[in-house]
Structure 1
Amino acid sequence: MVLAAALFVSGLLVLYFGAESLVKGSSRLALSFGVRPLIIGMTIVAFATSMPELMVSLSAALRGSSDIAAGNIIGSNVANIGLILGAAALLKPLAVPPSTLKRELPFMIGASLLLFLFALDGRLTFGEGLLLFLLLAVFLGYCLRRAREQGLERPAPEALVARERASRNKDLLLILIGMGGLGAGAELMVRSAVTIARGFGISELVIGISIVALGTSLPELAASLVSAARGQMDISLGNVIGSNIFNILFVLGICPMIRPLAIDPGVLRFELPVMLLFSVALLPLARHRLSLGPVKGGLLLCAYSAFILALFL
């Protein structure tokens, strides 16, 4: 059991640093080709920060641990809103753009509701995964179109492009190291999580929703807290909403296309409704005064703590 715990922590560290390496390498490589920073943020970085969830869920699905695969995404989405957004709001009030209330938040809620409906028959199939993945393409297309309409895109500075162009080989190496780290870290985490769950008589679903989900949410947690501390509040909110959308449409889009995922009936009675509740509750919280302050942040943290406590009880 001690060895399994050590392997889990090791896998978590490898996963985290792998994600960091992938984000840095892919962002710099894109800049070296003159890709605009805004597009990098909405596509490459969003993709990279969802890679821990993808690799863990995919590894679990291939090993036949569907509970960890699905639980990881459900738990990660709840943690993104309750823990990460709650902690960021507690650190510094987060301003909520009106456009987010009208578009991105409803899209996140819609994706969560669609996942719930797909899971009602107890499994996620190839066709359902394909539809989720196609919706991701629609969402990304919408983001890019909105950015162009609002004139937010700016060409990457030529000096920056020239500097990054000289280090393409280094960036490619960072990407390869990152991908290798994500794969190795995910495998270590899944193997050890299954061992720990069986050793303590805890279900794989609970381990996936709590410990594994928290581990794969570390990149989002770090990004949101740093953004809030620097006064970039819109990044914290956008990070959470974008991550939740990617987790559902990207991760649970790809995994069922490779291997259908079985959904535990208990998930439909508690965990998935809670995920949907957190998503829906964020809308009135954000609409009130168009901000998320310390009081709302504390409320989100308390709700998340109650959710985790209920899992183990």
Structure 2
Amino acid sequence: MELLIHNYLNSFSTLLLVLVIAAMLYILSKGADILVEEAVSLSLHLGVPKAIIGATIVSLGTTLPEATVSVLAAINGNPDLALGNAIGSIIADTGLILGIAALIGELPVDRLVVERQGKIQILCGFLLAVVCLPFLSGGKGNISQWVGGLFLILLAFYLYISMKWTKTSDGENVSEESIKEEETDTFVEEKRPIYFQLLKLAVGIALVIASSKILIPAVQITAIRIGIPQSIIAATLIAFGTSLPELVTAVTAVRKGHGELAIGNIVGADILNVLFVVGSAAAVTSGGLNVPSNFYKLQIPAMLIILLFFRFFSANGKKEEISKKEGLLLFINYILYVILNFTWR
């Protein structure tokens, strides 16, 4: 099937391929949106606390595009696309998305998120950088299959501890009035039969997988034609496209006065990009994920720099929000990263 799709897309003009990529990125993000919406709707229908669903399924849903693209790329023998997409998504989430969110509205800092998930976020970034080092794999950068399996075990532990933190959290409780308000906003979803909700959930998953199967070969062909390495395309265009769910969530949350949700979603997404996206992509390939040499010059350092910037801005105990100036610095960091990708070969 993949070969048929590749051969068919290869007959398209470059302009048409660019349009196909744009369309698939759009479908990819919409599929993830449907998945997240139906997961939350199911939580209401089944009586599972939405706080737990938000801390786990929502983050998993918004990172599903990255995971799907990376796993399929790894299976098809394109590890640089898989790893570049994961690292690029962390950079886009933390630099571009939080930067924009801080610029367009208030971005309050949730102390519990910063002290718990925030520490895991920065540790995951450094863990990924360490396992990419050449001396750990005989002189050539490689994230082995067993490391991918270890990441998935850490993912399971992270999800478990997140649920436990949610249940024991001393944070603000949701009033009955706000619950009724939320239920009013989603009364259509709640009153639908559960089998219809499950069907829409399956449609969302199918859209993500199907669009990814078309997106990967379209990007490969386009990258070859215009002479840009796949790793760079993965870390910029694809990473931005697969980060659209996080971008839409963050912008919507800020515009509605719930900026703390944007920070929580991005912190969770960064963690999952390491443990879920890289872990699953490495685990499905016997040879693991090879790390292109250019990643040591730009991709990995840029990821660590942006994560450290965000950690510095958010971990200050005296701070109540990420300021617009700090948001601008995060945004500028992302723009510089994109520019360097296309000028520093």
The 3 A distance-change label for structure 1 pair 304 and 58 is: same
Of 107-116 and 262-271, more deviation after overlay is shown by 262-271
Q: What pairs with 1:72-151 in structure 2 (closer than 5 Å)?
A: 72-121=85-134, 122-151=141-170
Q: SS at the partner of 2:77? A: coil
Give unpaired runs (5+ residues) of structure 1: none
Post-superposition shift, 1:110? 0.5
2:93 and 2:270 in contact (8 A); partners too: yes
Q: 2:190 aligns with which of 161, 164, 172?
A: 164
What is the aligned partner in structure 2 of residue 235 from structure 1? 261
* Superposed CA offset, 1:108-129 (max 9, x none): 1100111111111311112111
What is the aligned partner in structure 2 of residue 58 from structure 1? 71
* Percent of aligned pairs sharing the same letter: 29
What is the aligned partner in structure 2 of residue 298 from structure 1? 328
What is the aligned partner in structure 1 of residue 290 from structure 2? 262
What is the aligned partner in structure 1 of residue 54 from structure 2? 41
What is the aligned partner in structure 2 of residue 311 from structure 1? 341
Post-superposition shift, 1:168? 1.0
Cα distance in 1 for partners of 2:254, 2:204 equals 26
2:93 and 2:243 in contact (8 A); partners too: yes
Q: SS at the partner of 1:73? A: helix
2:106 and 2:257 in contact (8 A); partners too: no
The 3 A distance-change label for structure 1 pair 295 and 247 is: same
Deviating 4+ runs (over 3 angstroms): 151-163
What is the aligned partner in structure 2 of residue 10 from structure 1? 23
Post-superposition shift, 1:8? 0.5
Q: SS at the partner of 1:64? A: coil
Per the normalisation by structure 2, the TM-score is 0.85
1:129 and 1:253 in contact (8 A); partners too: yes
| Partner AA of 1:83 in structure 2 | L
Post-superposition shift, 1:161? 9.6
| Partner AA of 2:336 in structure 1 | A
The 3 A distance-change label for structure 1 pair 163 and 196 is: closer
Post-superposition shift, 1:100? 3.1
| Partner AA of 1:218 in structure 2 | L
Post-superposition shift, 1:164? 2.7
1:32 and 1:161 in contact (8 A); partners too: no
| Partner AA of 2:102 in structure 1 | A
Cα distance in 1 for partners of 2:124, 2:293 equals 20
2:282 and 2:289 in contact (8 A); partners too: yes
The 3 A distance-change label for structure 1 pair 179 and 101 is: closer
| Partner AA of 1:131 in structure 2 | L
Cα distance in 1 for partners of 2:170, 2:315 equals 25
1:32 and 1:162 in contact (8 A); partners too: no
* Superposed CA offset, 1:82-126 (max 9, x none): 100000000113121333332222211100111111111311112
Per the normalisation by structure 1, the TM-score is 0.94
| Partner AA of 1:236 in structure 2 | A
What is the aligned partner in structure 2 of residue 272 from structure 1? 300
Give unpaired runs (5+ residues) of structure 2: 1-13, 135-140
The 3 A distance-change label for structure 1 pair 162 and 66 is: closer
